[in-house]
Amino acid sequence: MNYRPDIDGIRAISVISVVIYHAFPNYMPGGFVGVDLFFVISGFLITTIILSEQQKGNFNFINFYSRRIKRIFPALITVLTISFIGGYFLLLPNEFKLLGKHIAGGAGFVSNLVLWNESGYFDVEAVSKPLLHLWSLGIEEQFYIIFPVILWIAASRNYHVFKLIIFLTLLSFLVNIALHKSEPISNFYSPISRFWELLIGSVLAYMLLFEKKSIHQQRSKIDAYIQNSNLKIINFFTTIGIQNLVSAVGLIFIFIALFFASGRRFPGTWALLPTIGAFLVILAGKESWLNKNFLSNSVLVYVGLISFPLYLWHWVLLSYVFIITGNAVSEEGRLLIVALSFFLASITYYYIEKPIRYGTSNGMMTLGLLFSMGVLLTVGLIVYWFDGIPSRVPNSNNLLSIQKQFTWEKSNNADPLCLKKYGGDQYCKISRLAKSPTVALIGDSHANHFFLGLSDYLQKKGENLLHLGVGGCAPFLHVDWGNHPNHGNLRCYERSKKIYDFVLQNQNIKMVILAFQHTEYFRNDIDFIDKMNEIQRNNNLENSYLALKRTIEIFNKVGKKVVLIQDLPNLKYDLKDCLNTRPIEIYKKVCDFKDVFQSHQIKIYNKFIDRLEKETNITIFRTHPYLHDNFVFNKNGLPSYRDGSHLSESGSMYFSDKYDF
């Protein structure tokens, strides 16, 4: 196909927006939509190649996949190899184990499926995953594997290819809409709900290959209509030219998405802005003014050429620095990382990718690349199976017990037998399954992390504790949260109502314990929704308090004692960074335990629970008197926090002999 420098310009906008979003999110809050632009470009180019070769009668699967391997594998193998070496010398065992799984996922082009499977409320932070960004490559490669086969079958059976592409596009888009609210994580990572973005490029490829005459005729009709019109606005468009107008509208769509898509779940309908924008810009053609003078300028074309290795390098480098420094990276430091990413991307493109891609074509090179990727996949699995090779680090035997505290097994969230018996939702844990519950613990993850210690305390008193709850949902009856990054679209009211109904109606449950994250619900910047229309104030901060007060009173009315566990303050830094036990210590954090807690964040929350104690019949268990140097790391050297705000198993058990209610 004829080279389109303007497409490299769109690639440049795509990768620059993603890099800015990762390094300086405040400057381009919707920069993540750059991936959606990549999808459209990939779908357009791949479909153009396949349909062109089919039209000439020389399409060959071996040649097609060999070209894909030579295009993608060199840079990917390089980055995966360096990621492995860096992980071996810099990462703790649990971090290296996770990296091993992600190397295997990246080498097998199933990163999106791996990340989909491990995503959840308790999953580690995104910055702790150096290969997180490979999810998009997984979706592209799955498209490259499946779509050529579909086109080959369609051609061999004389199906109408364009109608088939349109049908598949609409089907995938409808799946995206269906999953948008109910299964946002599945919608993000599933190839089925993402393929429509690549297929939009396929639609355009077919149009430009086989409908050029029709497109030209329609353009002529529009031009004639404009010329015959007396409307000033139409005459203005005549001056611009229809091609230039289409290109301008496309770029406007893209930039609106880049700056206004933040806080919205993707893909959903908002993904139409960047994808339709890319469609229009490519449709306008390389001769339109913006395409020729803006997108085809030498700087953007250069960035477009190195866009693939730049995409691979930038997040790996940022993530490693974030991990090593505990996120303590200045803007100047991030700017240096971005500059290094551009340098490494250029080296990778000119000295690794380009020579292999455009060098002598032979099967041995393709087989060598396949073999190398297979080795990386195997090495990744070995690292995962051997728990991150703990022998790499000093004091590995003692470190293993410490590292265990930084993980939270899914079995701590819910038990299958508990879910089967009590329904539950995200959380369902019970001390003794064979006995009826006598105490209910309700709340989000900050209730869940108290369960182990609470269960131990209550069992000694002959009580049986049942924990039910939903991550990100406060234990406030008849309340939901609107469009908010952490709580919007969680359907808290719908998912929690059955929990409250069960607890309210169960006569055996005499006590209800409430716990929740202090920073999330006593805020004015959340959309408070009272499903019972009983709370009419416009002050969301006060509304949250009134909802909690109403919840306590409802439980009191049916004869249940209500206990509130005072939430713990967040940490200023990750306790892993206080251990200084990495194989090679590049950055050592000095941890001052007198200043480890972000106590200022909890002042509003504490003010409200003091008020609750005066205005309601509630018992408050105050955790803060027990926060001291020995709490952060106990006498056995085990951390009480597993991340910045959640207790570890050791931290949960710490309170088991402190409770008194």
CA gyration radius, the chain: 28
Q: Which sign does the torsion angle of CA 197, 198, 201, 206 carry?
A: negative
What is the DSSP-derived secondary structure letter of residue 109?
T
| pLDDT, averaged across the chain | 87
Tokens at residue 345, please? Answer: 């991307």
Q: Determine the Cα angle at 12 with ends 11 and 16, to 5°.
A: 120
pLDDT, position 346: 97
β-strand partners of 563: 513, 619
What is the DSSP-derived secondary structure letter of residue 188?
H
Distance CA 320, CA 136 (A): 20
Number of residues that make up the chain = 661
pLDDT, position 590: 65
Most confident region among 134-138, 416-420, 578-582, 584-588 by mean pLDDT: 134-138
> Nearest-CA neighbor of 520 among 472, 480, 570?
472
Least confident of 85-94, 96-105, 390-399: 390-399
pLDDT, position 120: 52
pLDDT, position 216: 64
The residue-averaged pLDDT of 93-104 equals: 92
Distance CA 552, CA 409 (A): 31
- 266: pLDDT strictly greater than 90: no
The residue-averaged pLDDT of 171-192 equals: 89
What is the DSSP-derived secondary structure letter of residue 324?
H
pLDDT tens, 456-502? Answer: 999 999 999 999 998 888 899 998 887 555 555 677 888 888 889 99
Distance CA 638, CA 177 (A): 45
> Nearest-CA neighbor of 448 among 516, 402, 351?
516
One-letter amino acid at 11 equals: R
Give yes or no for a contact between 62 and 300, defined as CB atoms under 8 angstroms apart. no
* Beta-sheet strand order (sheet of 427-430): 427-430, 465-469, 439-443, 511-515, 561-565, 619-621
Least confident of 93-97, 208-212, 388-392: 208-212
Report helix, strand or coil for 544: helix
What is the DSSP-derived secondary structure letter of residue 593?
G
How many percent of the chain have pLDDT more than 90? 56
Q: Any residues with CB less than 8 A from the CB of 431 and at least 6 apart, and which?
A: 455, 458, 459, 463, 464, 465, 466
pLDDT tens, 337-379? Answer: 999 999 999 999 999 999 998 877 678 899 999 999 999 999 9
Burial of residue 1 (CB within 10 Å: 0-12, 13-18, 19+) is: exposed
pLDDT, position 164: 94
Distance CA 139, CA 110 (A): 8
pLDDT band for position 122 (50/70/90)?
very low
- 57: pLDDT strictly greater than 60: yes
pLDDT, position 634: 80
For 327-334, which contacts have Cβ atoms below 8 Å and span 24 or more sequence positions? 327/127, 327/573, 327/574, 328/573, 328/589, 331/24, 334/23, 334/24
Determine how β-strand 427-430 pairs with β-strand 465-469. antiparallel
pLDDT band for position 121 (50/70/90)?
very low
pLDDT, position 117: 83
pLDDT, position 214: 66
Tokens at residue 555, please? Answer: 């439980």
- 46: pLDDT strictly greater than 90: yes
The residue-averaged pLDDT of 1-14 equals: 92
β-strand partners of 511: 439, 561
The dihedrals phi and psi of 588, each to the nearest 5 degrees, come to -110, 120
State the alpha helices, DSSP H only, in 405-491. 416-422, 445-448, 451-460
- Top-confidence residue, 341 or 530: 341
- 166: pLDDT strictly greater than 50: yes
Distance CA 264, CA 246 (A): 26
Distance CA 383, CA 96 (A): 7
Q: Any residues with CB less than 8 A from the CB of 230 and at least 6 apart, and which?
A: none
Distance CA 535, CA 494 (A): 18
The residue-averaged pLDDT of 593-613 equals: 83
pLDDT, position 255: 94
How many percent of the chain have pLDDT more than 70? 89
Distance CA 315, CA 345 (A): 12
The residue-averaged pLDDT of 598-608 equals: 84
- Residue reference for tokens 């408070």: 528
Query: How far is C-alpha 613 from the chain's CA centre?
Result: 39
pLDDT, position 228: 62
- Top-confidence residue, 287 or 513: 513
